[in-house]
Amino acid sequence: MSPDEERALVTRAERGERAAFDVLVKDALPKLRAVLRRLVGSPDDTDDLAQETLLKGFEKLSTFRGEARFSSWLTSIGTRLALNHLREKRQWRWDAQVHIAKLLHSTAEGREALQAIFRSPGHRFDAREHIAFCFSCVSRSLPPAQHAALILRDVFDYKNREAAKALGLRESELRRDLGEARATMQQRFDGLCGLVSKDGICYQCKGLREQTPDKCSAEIPELGAESAEARYTRRLEVSRDADLDHGAMQDFHDMVWRDLARLEETAR
């Protein structure tokens, strides 16, 4: 869709043509949901925030100036809604996924739920998807502004100016949040991930692959490197394009996200 076509649809939608707005949404929704999913994780929260974003977007159509694509404008609205949502929630523990794994394996109900997913015909182990899932989990342990800056800048490759505008920040604030977030994430992954450190406490990638050895989309990628910064960059490279909203492990990740959200809201 060209910018002129987009502008014409916005004009029609402002006049009350719902069909024109629906065309705009159809083009913008994949990007919006991808960003929301990485920010909040939970499929239910993603659905709710996406719906709220569409309502807000329709109400604010008169403020669209065409300085960015409609999808970027709509995603900025969704990003701020997600940021407000995260500020109302507790920050997660840096090793939250380790805690939820122990909890799921500690009960017959949890073990059966896992096995039901592993036996599902559509389930596949995809290491890149799970590394992306893990990245968002650990990122939820950051202050919300740092978490959002990291997701927009490092996962979705926003420019500093674009990310700052989407989050309502000055570029200097964005750079500060981003620098602190990167340093924290590098440190936490080195203490957490068994793929990069013999001292890591999480071996989920290996364990999940062993659960379904005949249902693997690809081998577990190599994440090791000499420096923490290089290991962090490599992690982004292998997981940036993973689709957490429609991927091969969506059923598993949806279940774990829901359980994680409940667990971390009550954790002390």
Domains of the chain, earliest start first: 1-88 (1.10.1740.10), 91-268 (no CATH)
pLDDT digits (tens, 9 = 90+) for 122-170: 888 898 999 999 999 999 999 999 999 999 999 999 999 999 999 999 9
Average pLDDT, the chain: 90
From the number of C-beta atoms within 10 Å of its C-beta (0-12, 13-18, 19+), residue 56 rates as middle
Give residue 197's pLDDT band: very low, low, confident or very high (50, 70, 90). Answer: confident
User: Which pair of tokens denotes residue 10?
Assistant: 């916005």
Q: Fill in the DSSP letter of residue 125.
A: B
| 208 or 94: which leads in pLDDT | 94
End-to-end CA distance of the chain: 49
pTM of the prediction? 0.91
Contacts of 92 (CB under 8 A, 6+ apart): 137, 140, 141, 260, 264, 267
pLDDT digits (tens, 9 = 90+) for 236-254: 998 999 999 998 899 999 9
User: φ and ψ at 172, to 5 degrees?
Assistant: -65, -35
| 209 or 138: which leads in pLDDT | 138
pLDDT digits (tens, 9 = 90+) for 78-131: 999 999 999 999 999 999 999 999 999 999 999 999 999 998 888 888 989 999
Looking at residue 52, its pLDDT comes to: 98
Q: Is 187 helix (H, G, I), strand (E, B) or coil?
A: helix
Q: How far apart are CA 133 and CA 51, in angstroms?
A: 23
* Residue 42 confidence (pLDDT) above 70: yes
Looking at residue 58, its pLDDT comes to: 92
* Residue 219 confidence (pLDDT) above 80: no
